[in-house]
Amino acid sequence: MSLNERVQEELEALEAILMDDISIIYNENGCPELVKSTIFPSTANEVDKQYVCVTLEAKLPDGYPDCEPIVQLRNPRGLDDSTINNLYEAIKEKCSEFLGQPVIFELIEIIRESLTESNLPTCQCAVCLYGFSDGDSFTKTKCFHYFHSYCLANHLITTKRHFQEEQDKLPAWQKSTKGFQASCPVCREHINCDVEELSSAAPPKELENAQNFEVTSDLRHLQERMKQLFTYQKSRGGIIDIEAEENKLLLITESNGDTPPADNTEDPGPSLSNINESVMGDGLLSRGQRYNNCRLNSSGR
């Protein structure tokens, strides 16, 4: 059997088994060059319990199957980097084992088995930024993004409240006629959720066990210094008040040459240059250092 016949026989078998779950892309000469399939875990007919997925793209070189296909995993959903790396290693081993034989179906199967074993999102909830633990109630949107049910409910309730507050500020002719539409916090795709049902879910375990935030003495000191700096900058016109700026008038006067020179000895105001580096981090330049750098840059030296 020729090389092309072996490849064509494999592709026909894949189409017969996977049907709409596989797509084959041919080049201008009519030769197959790319096989794509989005793979889900095995959950019988319970599609709603397929929490992870990934798209396999296998590029077929001219010598395939006597040489290995070039495999890429695209658009992983609910999978972290370590899981993807493990899949790549398993794919590489399988390709080496089946060198000289059709391997695409084997690759699909090992990916499906891996997804079935880890059919729990290994990513983080995009709302609270904590992971998913056994026993946590979570929701998968149609766009394959994951949230603790408790977190998603709070997000939607807050978003709806903000939407209503903004609508109340608008004149009647500018108000939305469609009303509030829930959307995914990650991709903004429209979603349909029962907020009351989501609200009944318990908070995620990691969130309940998280250490309460405490304001340290260093942070209080930083807040006080920032407050002083803000007050000084505002008094010198360094803070823009949008409402006040709208009511300002532009006044232009001609100078008669009698304007006294600027007094460079005035108090520069409070500075953050002395704040503990453990609070502000490395790389903070003092006022004088920034001034010297500006002089050097402007003079070209």
DSSP string, 68-120: --EEEEEEEES--HHHHHHHHHHHHHHHHHTTTS--HHHHHHHHHHHHHHT-S
**CATH number of the domain where residue 150 is located:** 3.30.40.10
Does 231 reside within a domain? no
Averaged pLDDT, 31-49: 86
Report the C-alpha gap between 11 and 35 in whole angstroms: 9
Identify whether the C-beta of residue 127 lies closer than 8 Å to the C-beta of residue 151: yes
Q: Which of 93-107, 217-231, 263-277 is predicted with the least confidence, judged by mean pLDDT?
A: 263-277
The whole-number pLDDT of residue 158 equals 93
Does 213 reside within a domain? no
Structural domain of 64: 3-117
Does 175 reside within a domain? yes
User: In percent, how much of the chain has pLDDT > 70?
Assistant: 78
Does 233 reside within a domain? no
Report the C-alpha gap between 141 and 48 in whole angstroms: 10
Same domain, 105 and 185: no
Domain end: 185, 207, 229, which one? 207
Does 102 reside within a domain? yes
Q: Does residue 298 have a pLDDT over 50?
A: no
The better pLDDT of the pair 43, 276 is held by 43
Same domain, 45 and 81: yes
Domain end: 117, 150, 168, which one? 117
Q: Which of 1-15, 110-124, 240-254 is predicted with the least confidence, judged by mean pLDDT?
A: 240-254
The whole-number pLDDT of residue 282 equals 46
Same domain, 164 and 64: no
Same domain, 266 and 169: no
Termini Cα distance of the chain:
74
The whole-number pLDDT of residue 285 equals 47
Does 223 reside within a domain? no
Q: Categorise residue 241: left if φ over 0, alpha if ψ from -120 to 50, beta otherwise.
A: beta
pLDDT per residue over 210-252, tens digit each?
A: 777 788 899 999 999 999 998 888 888 777 666 666 666 555 5
Neighbours of 112 (CB within 10 A): 17
Same domain, 246 and 291: yes
The whole-number pLDDT of residue 242 equals 63
Does 125 reside within a domain? no
Closest CA to 199 of 262, 150, 135: 150
Same domain, 189 and 271: no
Q: Does residue 193 have a pLDDT over 70?
A: yes
Same domain, 187 and 269: no
Parallel, antiparallel, or unpaired: how do β-strands 70-77 and 53-59 relate? antiparallel
Same domain, 169 and 203: yes
Same domain, 188 and 290: no
Q: How many domains does the chain have?
A: 3
Same domain, 161 and 108: no
Same domain, 8 and 113: yes
